[in-house]
């Protein structure tokens, strides 16, 4: 019977062949290697769990650790990613996720969810985090066209103009293929981060974080237009909860195949974005 142990950096080469099972040609070997890097200095000392049979790695479940200040206190996060097991050992797959449930002081998230992963996660006490995306078309309303709204994408002076948590987030994600957007309006400023992704062979801008949902919602069409022209995408997509009940004109809901899930003893859905996870790390 195979054994489960913590995955450390030297395990990457032995684990890498398993990632071919995801059949994602956009991810190269160096992309997958990022799962074995402590990007945010969590100092946990490991990157998930591996299933090992006679010194051969036959299964992997990745963990991305981070710490953030939310609601005035430090919160520990653990993003679960890339659960893959050799076909001959599928009956032992569950053994990879069981140790993670013991991380009671962490908020656990799974952002890319398969049918099988969703079923297991729900049985282990995970709750739905998000079931719908909102597609925002690059069509500004007439009223916002006549109102001051400056959209700056990947500006050279962001390290000087962003403050507090926005500056921390900006610095923490500079090493990835993210687009950083600063919006200035008469109602206040908004900072967001996202990446260019493909959905059904169409390029979209996927938002991972919004600092001010009200400002974003009011100017969503105009912001989407600026982003789509700069990033060369057809529309902007955002998790529905990011809007926090605010409406975005000229948009429509898009159901996820399987909801994102989370497990937390201290945070609610609206506290959790998509940063510090596999999404910026793997650019997916």
Note the pLDDT tens digit of each residue in 133-189.
Answer: 999 999 998 888 889 999 999 998 999 999 999 999 999 999 999 999 999 999 999
Same domain, 147 and 45: no
Q: Which residues contact 64 (CB under 8 A, 6 or more apart)?
A: 35, 39, 47, 78, 79, 81, 276, 277, 278, 281
pLDDT of residue 249: 87
Characterize the bridge pairing of strands 235-239 and 127-136: antiparallel
Final residue belonging to a domain, choices 86, 103, 120 = 103
Residue in the structure block whose two tokens are 């690059």: 138
pLDDT of residue 60 exceeding 80 = yes
Query: What does residue 276 show for φ and ψ, rounded to 5 degrees?
Result: 50, 45
267, part of any domain: no
Residue 43 class from Cβ within 10 Å (0-12 exposed, 13-18 middle, 19+ buried)?
exposed
Is 215 within 8 Å of 183 (Cβ atoms)?
A: yes
Same domain, 197 and 249: yes
Same domain, 139 and 245: yes
Same domain, 68 and 20: yes
Q: What is the pLDDT of residues 9-48, one digit of tens each?
A: 999 999 999 999 888 888 999 999 999 999 999 989 999 9
Is 281 within 8 Å of 178 (Cβ atoms)?
A: no
83, part of any domain: yes
Characterize the bridge pairing of strands 235-239 and 202-210: parallel
pLDDT band at 1 (very low <50, low <70, confident <90, very high): confident
What is the spatial distance between Cα 241 and Cα 233, in angstroms, rounded to a whole number?
22
Same domain, 44 and 147: no
Full domain range(s) for residue 178: 133-256
CATH of the domain at 241: 3.40.630
Same domain, 137 and 70: no
Same domain, 145 and 204: yes
Q: Which residues contact 8 (CB under 8 A, 6 or more apart)?
A: 36, 45, 46, 47
For residue 264 the two structure tokens come to 């937390």
pLDDT band at 197 (very low <50, low <70, confident <90, very high): very high
Same domain, 185 and 99: no
CATH of the domain at 13: 3.40.630.30
Number of separate domains in the chain: 2
Query: What does residue 31 show for φ and ψ, rounded to 5 degrees?
Result: -65, -50
Same domain, 11 and 93: yes
Q: What is the mean pLDDT of residues 225-236?
A: 96
Same domain, 186 and 248: yes
SS3 state at 15: helix
Same domain, 94 and 159: no
283, part of any domain: no
């Amino acid at each position: 019977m195979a054994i489960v142990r913590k995955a450390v950096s030297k395990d990457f080469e032995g684990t890498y062949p398993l990632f071919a099972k995801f059949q994602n040609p956009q991810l190269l070997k160096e992309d997958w290697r990022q799962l074995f890097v402590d990007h945010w200095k969590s100092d946990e000392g490991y990157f998930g769990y591996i299933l090992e049979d006679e010194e051969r790695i036959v299964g992997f479940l990745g963990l991305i650790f981070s710490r953030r200040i939310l609601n005035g206190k430090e919160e520990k996060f653990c993003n679960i990613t890339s659960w893959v097991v050799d076909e001959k050992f599928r009956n032992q797959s569950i053994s990879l996720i069981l140790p993670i449930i013991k991380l009671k002081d962490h908020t656990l998230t799974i952002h890319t969810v398969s049918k099988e992963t969703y079923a297991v996660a729900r049985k282990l006490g995970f709750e739905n985090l998000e079931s719908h995306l909102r597609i925002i078309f690059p069509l500004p309303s007439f009223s916002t066209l006549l109102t001051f709204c400056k959209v700056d994408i990947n500006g050279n002076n962001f390290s000087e103009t962003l403050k507090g948590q926005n500056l921390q987030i900006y610095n923490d994600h500079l090493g990835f293929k993210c687009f950083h957007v600063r919006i200035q309006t008469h109602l206040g400023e908004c900072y967001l981060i996202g990446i260019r992704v493909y959905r059904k062979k169409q390029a979209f801008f996927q938002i991972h974080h919004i600092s001010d949902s009200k400002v974003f919602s009011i100017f969503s069409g105009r912001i989407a237009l600026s982003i789509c022209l700069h990033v060369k995408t057809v529309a902007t997509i955002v998790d529905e909860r990011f809007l926090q009940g605010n409406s975005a004109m000229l948009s429509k809901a898009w159901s996820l195949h399987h909801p994102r899930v989370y497990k937390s003893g201290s945070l609610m859905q609206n506290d959790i974005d998509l940063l510090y996870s596999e999404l910026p790390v793997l650019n997916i």
